Amino acid sequence: MAAFLLLSLSYSNSLTAQDNDSLTRIYSKFDFIPGEKVIFFDDFSSENIGDFPVLWNTTGSGEIVTYGKYPGKWLKITNPRSITTLFDPLTLPENYTIEFDVVPQAQPPSHNNSYFNFYLISTIKPKDPLFGLARPGGTGVKLSFAYSQYFSAYYSDGTPDVKSTNGDAAIRQKAETKYHISIWVQKQRIRVYQDEVKIFDLARAISDKVKYNMIRFHEGTPLIGNVRIATGLPDMRNKLITEGKLVSYGIYFDVNSDKLKPQSAGTLKEIAGIMAENPDLKIRIVGHTDADGADAANLDLSKRRAASVKDALSTAYGIEANRIETDGKGEKEPVAPNDNGTNKALNRRVEFIKL
């Protein structure tokens, strides 16, 4: 039997951080830290409305849309029975993170009221969307964001089925509402978060006998956005204290804004902890952008974003403001060509430099 982990969960809309203090007050338990190196990013910004995105594959149909309630472009899966995957296979190591925004859509009873399913798979045919968990050679994880609340794990080595239920209706997802899903894999351990809430933490759910190489969406007609996959576990303490420079991709901002997103809380909390344990440490925070937009606007944005990080560390986490300098470089110091979504994501970063 192929190794198979099924998780079926339901959630509710949660509070949104309104200011820096909320990063501590509301998100104090949010410990998700994105991987160190971005290997895939797609916000669909370069796609034409009505087209299917070039980096993706499907057995059914889908299109790029705008959605008045939430800015940006979204991949709308239009066939509830279709499978939607990345066109090129992934190469995932032991430690990695997967993130995406989603706006679930209500489904009729004929689809078991499921909003959508997400899979993380190891398959011997990673370019064949139909060749997955149900076929020989398939191992994986299924996340079912639905009304039913349970998970079930199956392993090919004979480990018995493990099931758990959660009947808390207060954590049920709502249709037409945006959520940020974060998945953190460390060897055999997997953690999944919706917004600031850790949904589960399983120590031995990921097989160490296979390499996972496919993500896919199946069932439902959700809107998907800002898909981000990153590898490696950032050693922030060593980077900042020993090497003297930490490049972070775990600080998020609203589009064209210096407003911090709640998903920044895990990274900010870790950096604040390092500074609290090293009271003589002083740093310079430097913001960087991609090359989209005017040079002057990007320079100003990068400076404002660095200042926002300083304000959060000082106001929300109690780090003395006189220990922090800020600067911004705009698009002047890219680390990758600004020629695709993944490379642009690499250029959008915040650097912490030991003084």
Is 308:348 a contact under the CB 8 Å cutoff?
A: no
pTM across the whole model: 0.87
What CATH number belongs to 4-231?
A: 2.60.120.560
* Model confidence pLDDT, tens digit, residues 259-308: 998 889 889 999 999 999 999 999 999 999 999 999 999 999 999 999 99
Is 33:270 a contact under the CB 8 Å cutoff?
A: yes
Alpha helix segments (H runs only) across the chain: 20-25, 236-237, 265-277, 295-311, 341-347
Tokens 């917004």: give the residue: 195
What is the third-level CATH fold of 236-354? 60s Ribosomal Protein L30; Chain: A; (3.30.1330)
* Model confidence pLDDT, tens digit, residues 85-107: 999 999 999 999 999 999 988 77
* Model confidence pLDDT, tens digit, residues 137-146: 457 787 878 6
Burial 274-288 (b: 16+ CB within 10 A, else e): bbeeeeebebbbbbb
Q: Who's near 73: CB < 8 A, 6+ residues apart?
A: 43, 44, 45, 47, 49, 64, 65, 66, 225
**Sequence ranges of the chain with CATH classification 3.30.1330.60:** 236-354
Q: β-strand 283-288 against 324-330: which pairing, if any?
A: parallel
**Sequence ranges of the chain with CATH classification 2.60.120.560:** 4-231
* Model confidence pLDDT, tens digit, residues 151-175: 544 444 444 455 555 556 666 778 8
Partners of residue 75 on adjacent β-strands: 64, 224
Q: Who's near 106: CB < 8 A, 6+ residues apart?
A: 115, 175, 176
Instruction: Give the whole-angstrom CA distance, residue 112 versus residue 220.
Output: 10
